[in-house]
A and B are shown apart, each in its own frame.
Chain A
Amino acid sequence: MSTLAIDKAGPTRKVKYGSMSRDRTWALRWSYFFLTIFAIFSLVPPIYMLITSLKSSAEISAATNPWWVFHPTLSNYVELLTSNQFLRFFWNSAMVSIFVVTLTMLISVPAAFALSRMKFWGSATLATGVFLTYLIPDSLLFLPLFKMFAVIGDWTGIQLINKWYVLLFLYPTLTVPFCTWIMIGYFASIPKELDEAAIIDGASWFQTLTRIFIPVALPGLIAATIFAFTVSWAQFLYPLVFTTSTDQLVMPVGIITTLIKGDVFNWGQIMTGALLGAAPPLLIYAFLMDYYIAGLTAGATKG
């Protein structure tokens, strides 16, 4: 279409249009070029993990080309996946994450519903407060929390420190504020007419939540769940502070404290462990990338 018009307009116009599309082609090429560079930068560590995990310790200490596997072996994987200790870390991590995700959803979904729909005294302040809580980092709270749990242990005799389930109390401080906040955003975007219609039809508040809000805001719910899972799987500071016995450790801390023995770094196993530890979030991400990104952007654009 456009080429016809250009032909009629004369050669000068044609040259100009040609240079513009050539500019665009070049812009595209440059874009791909730089994106490739950045993609390599992003993927070097995980790929290097994979490469090292396929090497035997003999090959690693022989200091051959580190970017290539000459004698691939699965021995690191076999060794880790048959070691009770490592499976214990995995189990602890899985238990903590599943419980924390459930707990987070049970706390934050009703709270977000109440804060976005049932206006009551102080609800706006509370919503802001939730957001502020999200900004308080774990590295500010770990010492007072540690002391608090030690004092509780002294007073009541319930020793929570150095038990994996102490993390069930700690992780919600990181997940609940954010999940509540993004759920408030999703619930607020649901048209008011929808729940008014439900109320007129005689639905209770609970029914409005379970029959209308949760189905309509399901993408948000999935995004919040993924977030809660990723955070509880990746958290490093709290388990490092609160758990020390090897049978109570979760994945990240377990790999770092047990596979590094003194100055001896068994890199093949460490990288295998790291890769296995990164696998669950990566798998979720691979299958639910759109929800993942939706949650990420909703959290900050709506908040």
Chain B
Amino acid sequence: MVDVTFQPAGIAAAPSRKKSSLRRALKRKSSMAFLMTLPLIVLIAVMVVYPALYSIHLATLNKAMTKFIGFGNFTFLFKRQTFWMVVEQSCIFAITAVIFKALIGFIVAHFAHNIPSKKQRKWRGMLLVPWVIPPAMSTLAWLWLFDPSYSAFNYTLGLFGAGPIAWLGETGWARFSIILVNVWFGAPFFMIMYLASLKSVPEQLYEAAAIDGANWWQRIWFVTLPMMRNIIAITTLFSLIVTFANFDITRILTAGGPLDSTHIFATWSFRLGIEGGDIPLGASVSLFMAPILAIAAIFILRDVSKRGNEA
């Protein structure tokens, strides 16, 4: 305060000095800001952008990484039947899992929204547990539940007289099991997101709909869904990316088997690149995730900027 009262005299005496100090301060602000973001920029440039570009370069090399072979890895992949199986399985896995996660998340969020808000906390706490356990650890529990001879699932089925199922030994069941575990792990995320967004739908809209004679289905279709459209889109795209790139669950449950029928891009590129020692081929396989990621990212960005404008 004292400084402020004295300042006019100082400014009158030396206007040029004030200007230069202001400029210095401005300069300091931007250079300061740059310094503060520098570690982030370095990290992203060195550990994300460079490797991403480097993997494109790697994909054009031969196995020993000594010779440039252009699209050789890709033409090799296109001729292999396993590759098309991986593409098929990745799409089946990601799309089915995301649809079920979204559906179950939506349904559970509705039920959780129905009950008194005091009790919601407890239920939400229980329902979110799958999302909290490290997926590698919980998948081990599933692996044990699926165990063919001593397992809990087959024992329980046996009580009802149903025969033992080779959960991870048959292609169809193995695919089902992997999707089931992924849905188990991912549905709570949708549930939490939808529950948060359900709470933000104004109650008056439902009252207005009820006065207009809408039944519960019409209330969901004409009130809830339009209000939640944005969050549903973002969550689904997000989950599509994560599910498409998933590694842990398939790796631990089947490691790609039986007969490579459950490999997805991530696990197959690990098999080829790390276990098979052919890094370029593995890199070319993992690059096939990029287009899907890019498309999803464009849509997400569009929604994000739209939200930004609304707020």
Contact = CB atoms under 8 A, between A and B. Distances in A.
Co-complex (A, B): yes
A225 interface: no
B270 interface: yes
Nearest to B230: A301
Interface of B: 3, 29-30, 32-34, 36-37, 39-41, 43-44, 47-48, 50-52, 54-55, 58, 65, 104, 107-108, 111-112, 114-115, 121, 123-130, 132-138, 140-142, 144-145, 147, 149-152, 155-156, 184, 188-189, 192-193, 196-197, 231, 234-235, 238, 241-242, 244-248, 251-252, 265-266, 269-270, 273-274, 279, 282-283, 286-287, 289-290, 293, 296-297, 300-301, 304, 307
The 4 closest A-B pairs by CB, nearest first: A137-B245, A234-B134, A139-B266, A118-B33
Interface of A: 27-28, 30-32, 34-35, 38-39, 41-46, 48-49, 52, 60-61, 63, 65-67, 106-108, 110-111, 113-115, 118, 120-121, 123, 126, 128-133, 135-148, 169-170, 172-173, 176-177, 180, 202, 205, 230, 233-234, 236-237, 240-241, 252-253, 255-256, 265, 267, 270-271, 274-275, 277-278, 281-282, 285-286, 289, 292-293, 296-297, 300-303
A31 B114 contact: yes
Contacts of A282: 129, 132-133
A230 B133 CA distance: 9
B184 A42 contact: yes
Contact of B111 (A31, A63, A173): A31
Nearest to A110: B36
Contacts of A32: 115
A111 B39 contact: yes
B279 A143 contact: yes
Contacts of A60: 150
Contacts of B235: 300
A138 B184 CA distance: 21
A142 B300 CA distance: 24
Name the residue in B37, B138, B155, B251 with the highest tally of chain A Cβ atoms < 10 Å from its Cβ. B37
B64 to A, nearest CB: 13
Contacts of A123: 33, 37
Nearest to A267: B144
A252 B152 contact: no
A113 B37 CA distance: 9
A126 B37 contact: yes
Nearest to A180: B40
24 contacts: A38-B104, A38-B108, A38-B111, A42-B184, A43-B126, A44-B145, A46-B138, A46-B141, A66-B150, A66-B152, A67-B152, A120-B29, A123-B33, A128-B301, A135-B297, A136-B293, A142-B270, A143-B55, A144-B55, A176-B43, A233-B134, A265-B144, A292-B132, A297-B192
A173 B44 CA distance: 7
A301 B196 contact: yes
A49 B197 contact: no
Contacts of B40: 107-108, 111, 126, 130, 176, 180
A126 B140 contact: no
Contacts of B196: 293, 297, 301
A205 B140 contact: no
Contacts of A44: 145
Given A65-B155, A176-B40, A39 B265 contact: no
A113 B34 CA distance: 11
Nearest to A209: B36
B48 A141 contact: yes
